[in-house]
Chain A
Amino acid sequence: MIELFLVFLVFGFLGAVLIFMNKFLGPTKTNPAKESPFECGSPYLQEGINPFPIKFYLVAFLFLLFDIEVVFFFPWALVFKEMGTTALVIMFAYMIVIVMGFIYAWKKGAFQWE
């Protein structure tokens, strides 16, 4: 345990020293040419990151939500045998809510990519 700790200490210290040494020792003078994106060659013509269709965000949001909702199925499956019908009813109510959300998203056109 203590050796491990020492290893972490030593290498963490070394890492910190190496990171900050740069900051202390390196020259900080700047000029316009240095600040430009490319120090050689021609100036850039357009932004590096192109915007892509907003629809993808919607799909990502919906994936996030429906993905997380499924998390509750795992504990439910574990206790299903002991709880029996009650568990079934509760999960049924839960599913209704999810399906309603799904219908809403569908009808709003969140899944149409074109």
Chain B
Amino acid sequence: MIPPNYFLILSIILFVLGVIAFFIKKDLLTMFMAVEVMLNATNLAFLSLARSANSIDGQVIVFFIITVAASEAAVGLAIILLVLRQKKTIKTEDIKLMKG
């Protein structure tokens, strides 16, 4: 059997990849997907930690995180759509009305 710690390490790698992608991508949708990757990495971390702690709590928490991610996705995609309709673009460099 694969030890739960491996999954924890994988989740940390995924999380860091999400953070990096959030900063280097120039596209609202991809940045949002990076956040989703981070949330799913968190899910994996919770599952592996729940396994190594032998408790069920961590698995229940995953349900809540899935819900959080979904509701964020709904609101976020709606906002991205709003921006797309107004500006006809979702590149970050075109979103620059406010400075300072």
Stretch at the interface among B17-25, B36-44, B45-53, B66-74: B66-74
Among A57, A68, A69, A75, residue most surrounded by chain B Cβ atoms (within 10 Å): A68
25 residue pairs bridging A and B, Cβ less than 8 Å apart: A54-B81, A57-B77, A57-B81, A61-B74, A61-B77, A61-B78, A64-B70, A64-B73, A64-B74, A65-B70, A65-B71, A65-B74, A67-B70, A68-B66, A68-B67, A68-B70, A68-B71, A69-B67, A71-B63, A71-B66, A71-B67, A72-B63, A72-B67, A75-B60, A75-B63
Bound CA span A57–B77, Å: 9
List B contacts of A64 (CB < 8 A).
70, 73-74
> Smallest distance from the beta carbon of A90 to chain B beta carbons, Å?
14
Give how many A residues have a beta carbon under 8 Å from the other chain's beta carbons. Answer: 11
Bound CA span A71–B63, Å: 7
Give residues in B with beta carbon < 8 Å to A.
Answer: 60, 63, 66-67, 70-71, 73-74, 77-78, 81
The proximity string for A residues 46-59 relative to B, scoring 1 for CB distances below 8 Å and 0 otherwise, is 00000000100100
Bound CA span A72–B60, Å: 10
List A contacts of B74 (CB < 8 A).
61, 64-65
Bound CA span A68–B73, Å: 11
List A contacts of B81 (CB < 8 A).
54, 57
List A contacts of B66 (CB < 8 A).
68, 71
> Smallest distance from the beta carbon of A3 to chain B beta carbons, Å?
16
> Smallest distance from the beta carbon of A103 to chain B beta carbons, Å?
17
Bound CA span A64–B72, Å: 11
Bound CA span A64–B73, Å: 9
Chain A to chain B: the 5 pairs with minimum beta-carbon distance, closest first? A68-B70, A61-B74, A65-B74, A68-B67, A64-B74
Among A61, A67, A69, residue most surrounded by chain B Cβ atoms (within 10 Å): A61
List A contacts of B60 (CB < 8 A).
75
The proximity string for A residues 21-39 relative to B, scoring 1 for CB distances below 8 Å and 0 otherwise, is 0000000000000000000
Bound CA span A69–B78, Å: 18
